[in-house]
């Protein structure tokens, strides 16, 4: 079973899904991606998650992020489950759900944790950048649903820090001040960030978010 770490190239794969055969790299193109696994179809927490994800699609689209879900069940099961999701969550599932009955993708992405369950995938999230590197991994227990507001917050941070020499502090939200990268001197920072730099400590400098 593969082990994936931050900065690794996200393994490519081709698999069947609720929207037909999908190749990961072709599907993502030159954009960002979020891949999230679900223990199984017709499970209560996953039903709420996929419904919520569908409602958040417009927000992911604004950020050029394509969504892709995965479960170890097949496409026929997915089709029936999607009917339930649409009904109880008052939405329309608008992204593919990978059918991973042979657990090929699950093993490729280390989604099966034997000490939790030998057969079902854990509740994992992978955010993939345009260069196909893995920028974030979060694994939740089966009993805890994901917070999609937090996933959007993290994507905002990843996209900001990918193009500007800053980091985001604790509890940062879009529009808040950010931390100047430690690799930049304060003198250089003043030139790079014309909105201003506040030196709290020599190693802690704050500046308004540069891309707004």
Quote the tokens at residue 208.
């308004």
Decide if 9 is catalytic.
Answer: no
Provide Rg for the chain, Cα atoms: 19
Find the angle CA(109)-CA(112)-CA(116) to the nearest 5 degrees: 145
DSSP symbols for 181-197: PTTS-HHHHHHH-TT--
Question: Please, what sign has the CA dihedral across residues 85, 154, 40, 29?
Answer: positive
Instruction: Answer yes or no: are the C-beta atoms of 107 and 1 closer than 8 Å.
Output: yes
Q: Which position among 28, 35, 46, 151 bears the catalytic label? A: 46
Instruction: Answer yes or no: are the C-beta atoms of 58 and 66 closer than 8 Å.
Output: no
Q: Between the CA of residue 208 and those of 111, 136, 149, 172, what are the distances in Å?
A: 38, 24, 22, 12
User: Which residues face 98 on adjacent strands?
Assistant: 17, 70
Q: Between the CA of residue 29 and those of 6, 36, 40, 70, 156, what are the distances in Å?
A: 20, 18, 28, 19, 19
Active site residues: 46
């Amino acid at each position: 079973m593969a082990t994936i770490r931050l900065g690794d190239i996200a393994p490519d794969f081709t698999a069947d899904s609720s929207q037909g055969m999908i190749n990961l790299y072709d599907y993502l193109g030159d954009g960002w991606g979020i891949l999230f696994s679900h223990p199984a179809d017709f499970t209560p927490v996953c039903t709420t998650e996929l419904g919520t994800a569908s409602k958040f699609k417009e927000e992911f689209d604004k950020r050029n992020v394509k969504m892709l879900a995965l479960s170890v069940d097949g496409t026929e099961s997915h089709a029936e489950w999607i009917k339930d999701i649409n009904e109880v969550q008052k939405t329309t599932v608008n992204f593919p759900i990978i059918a991973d009955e042979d657990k090929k993708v699950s093993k490729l992405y280390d989604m099966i944790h034997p000490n939790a369950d030998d057969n079902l995938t854990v509740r994992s999230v992978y955010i993939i950048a345009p260069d196909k590197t893995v920028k974030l991994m979060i694994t939740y227990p089966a009993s805890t649903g994901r917070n999609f507001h937090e996933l959007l917050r993290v994507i905002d941070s990843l996209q900001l820090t990918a193009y500007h020499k800053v980091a985001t502090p604790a509890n940062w939200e879009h529009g808040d001040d950010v931390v100047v990268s430690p690799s930049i001197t304060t003198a250089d920072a003043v030139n790079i960030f014309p909105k201003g730099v506040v030196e709290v400590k020599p190693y802690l400098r704050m500046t308004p978010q540069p891309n707004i």
